[in-house]
Copies of this chain bind each other. A is one copy, B any other.
């Protein structure tokens, strides 16, 4: 078996014909289905191909390794969440600190909990991958958006905007993961939705200077 060289996690080639695009879509869909119904340890390239109704060879035509398939899936999800964060941050420019904090927390939480099953599946998947670079890029995007947002607050200034944006991002992502990762009861989710806004508001107020 070829050992992973750490690169080549991107798709091998783009589908050019309609037939090929159908194949790729079917593979994505099958991957999520197998992941949710059978679990990570049963996630086999053979099984994915079988469920997608194509041969293993076809799968490897588009994803050079099993990891590339999982990587593409994770990337899609992280970028969707980053887009949501970015949109919120743009929309809330110039608001009061409290309002932008609440909107950010709610927006992030909504994006992550829109499809909890998939989110959980992707938490599992991430460990099998070399995600340092991808997570770094996503973190940078979110950091920049949050930093700009904070600096635009109409009723406060920040001495160390980078440290605050860093902490806010790690806290949002981390606390959400800690709750969703294992079987979160509806009560756990409610608690998160109630407490996380309070947590972030209190921190931002403590870490800023009122105008």
Q: Does A141 contact B (CB under 8 A)?
A: no
CB distance from A132 to the nearest CB of B (A): 5
**Which chain A residues (165-195) contact chain B, with CB distance < 8 Å?**
166-167, 169-171, 173-179, 181-183, 188, 191-192, 194-195
In the bound complex, do residue B135 and residue A127 qualify as a contact, i.e. CB atoms below 8 Å apart? Answer: no
Question: Inside 8 A of A139's CB, which chain B residues have their CB?
Answer: 182
Identical copies of this chain, number = 2
Nearest CB of chain B from residue A156's CB, rounded to whole Å? 14
Is there contact, CB below 8 Å, between A182 and B124? no
Shortest CB distance A190–B (Å): 9
CB distance from A112 to the nearest CB of B (A): 12
**Per a CB cutoff under 8 Å, which of B166, B191, B199, B202 touches A188?**
B166
Instruction: Name A188's closest neighbour in chain B (CB-CB).
Output: B166
A-B contact pairs, 24 of them (CB 8 A): A3-B42, A40-B128, A125-B127, A135-B181, A135-B182, A163-B191, A166-B191, A166-B195, A167-B195, A167-B196, A169-B178, A170-B174, A171-B171, A171-B199, A174-B176, A177-B177, A198-B206, A199-B203, A201-B206, A202-B203, A202-B205, A202-B206, A202-B207, A203-B203
